[in-house]
Amino acid sequence: MSHSLHEIPEVTIVGAGLAGCEAAVQLARRGVRVRLSEMKPKKRTPAQTSDTLAELVCSNSLRGASLTNAVGLLKEELRLSGSVVMKAALKTRVPAGGALAVDRERFSPLMTELVRSEPGIELVCAEVETIPAERPVILATGPLTSDALAADLALHVGQEHLAYYDAIAPIVSADSIDFGIAWRQSRYDKGGNDYVNCPLSRDEYDAFVAALLAAEKVKPREFEQVRYFEGCLPVEVMAERGHETLAFGPMKPVGLVDPRTGKRPHAVVQLRPEDEAMTAYNLVGFQTRMTWPEQRRVLGTIPGLAQAEFLRFGAVHRNTFVDAPVLLDGTMQLRALPGVYLAGQLAGVEGYVESAAGGLLCGIFLAQALLGQAVTPPPATTALGGIMTHLARRQDKGRYQPSNLTWAHLPPMDLGQKRMKKPARYALLAERALAELAPWLVAIGSPEPSGPPFATPPDDAAPEGSGCRTGT
Ligand SMILES: Cc1cc2nc3c(=O)[nH]c(=O)nc-3n(C[C@H](O)[C@H](O)[C@H](O)COP(=O)(O)OP(=O)(O)OC[C@H]3O[C@@H](n4cnc5c(N)ncnc54)[C@H](O)[C@@H]3O)c2cc1C
Q: What is the pLDDT of residues 10-25, one digit of tens each?
A: 999 999 999 999 999 9
CA 275–ligand 1 middle distance (angstroms): 27
Highest mean pLDDT pick, 99-113, 226-240, 312-326: 99-113
Of 260-269, 308-317, 334-343, 425-434, the one with minimum mean pLDDT is: 308-317
- Report angle CA 397, 402, 405 to the nearest 5 degrees: 115
CA 345–ligand 1 middle distance (angstroms): 7
The closest-lying atom of ligand 1 relative to the alpha carbon of residue 468 is 8
Residues 6+ apart with CB under 8 A from 390: 324, 348, 349, 403, 405, 409
- Report angle CA 59, 387, 36 to the nearest 5 degrees: 70
Does the C-beta of 465 come closer than 6 Å to ligand 1? no
State phi, psi for 47 to the nearest 5 degrees. -95, -15
Q: Between 115 and 231, name the one with better pLDDT.
A: 115
Distance CA 10, CA 18 (A): 20
CA 217–ligand 1 middle distance (angstroms): 23
CA 172–ligand 1 middle distance (angstroms): 27
The closest-lying atom of ligand 1 relative to the alpha carbon of residue 21 is 25
pLDDT for 268 equals: 98
pLDDT for 427 equals: 94
DSSP result, 275-301: STT--EEEETT----B-HHHHHHHHTT
Distance CA 62, CA 140 (A): 19
Does the C-beta of 348 come closer than 6 Å to ligand 1? no
- Ligand 1, from 45, 165, 317: best to mutate by most atoms within 8 Å of Cβ? 45
Distance CA 312, CA 143 (A): 19
Helix H or strand E encompassing 440: helix 422-443
pLDDT in tens, 261-318: 999 999 999 998 888 788 999 999 899 999 999 999 999 999 999 999 999 899 887 8
Residues 6+ apart with CB under 8 A from 262: none
Does the C-beta of 127 come closer than 6 Å to ligand 1? yes
Does the C-beta of 320 come closer than 6 Å to ligand 1? no
Indicate the DSSP class of residue 411.
P
* Residue 125, pLDDT above cutoff 80: yes
Model confidence at 227, pLDDT cuts 50, 70, 90, reads low
Does the C-beta of 253 come closer than 6 Å to ligand 1? no
Which residue's CA is the closest to the ligand 1 atom numbered 31?
Answer: 17
Model confidence at 462, pLDDT cuts 50, 70, 90, reads very low
pLDDT for 459 equals: 47
* Residue 466, pLDDT above cutoff 60: no
Distance CA 91, CA 79 (A): 12
CA 357–ligand 1 middle distance (angstroms): 14
* Residue 463, pLDDT above cutoff 50: no
pLDDT for 361 equals: 98
Distance CA 131, CA 138 (A): 9
Domains of the chain: residue spans and CATH? 5-165+318-470 (3.50.50.60), 171-313 (2.40.30)
Q: Is-cis flag, bond preceding 265, omega within 30?
A: no
Distance CA 340, CA 392 (A): 17
CA 418–ligand 1 middle distance (angstroms): 43
CA 104–ligand 1 middle distance (angstroms): 14
Output the average pLDDT for the chain.
90
Does the C-beta of 19 come closer than 6 Å to ligand 1? yes
Distance of CA 190 to the CA centre of its chain: 31
Which residue's CA is the closest to the ligand 1 atom numbered 48?
Answer: 17
Does the C-beta of 349 come closer than 6 Å to ligand 1? no
Which of 274, 10, 321 is closest to 144 using CA atoms? 321
* Residue 402, pLDDT above cutoff 90: no
Does the C-beta of 197 come closer than 6 Å to ligand 1? no
The closest-lying atom of ligand 1 relative to the alpha carbon of residue 359 is 25
pLDDT in tens, 348-371: 999 999 999 999 999 999 999 999
Calculate mean pLDDT across residues 43-61.
89
Model confidence at 1, pLDDT cuts 50, 70, 90, reads very low
The closest-lying atom of ligand 1 relative to the alpha carbon of residue 48 is 47
The closest-lying atom of ligand 1 relative to the alpha carbon of residue 148 is 41
Residues 6+ apart with CB under 8 A from 149: 14, 127, 128, 129, 130, 131, 139, 141
pLDDT in tens, 179-207: 999 999 988 887 678 899 999 999 999 99
Distance CA 50, CA 47 (A): 10
* Residue 445, pLDDT above cutoff 90: yes
Model confidence at 5, pLDDT cuts 50, 70, 90, reads low
Does the C-beta of 471 come closer than 6 Å to ligand 1? no
* Alpha carbon separation from 395 to 281, 391, 407, 416 (Å, rounded): 11, 10, 16, 28
* Alpha carbon separation from 374 to 1, 2, 13, 367 (Å, rounded): 10, 10, 22, 10
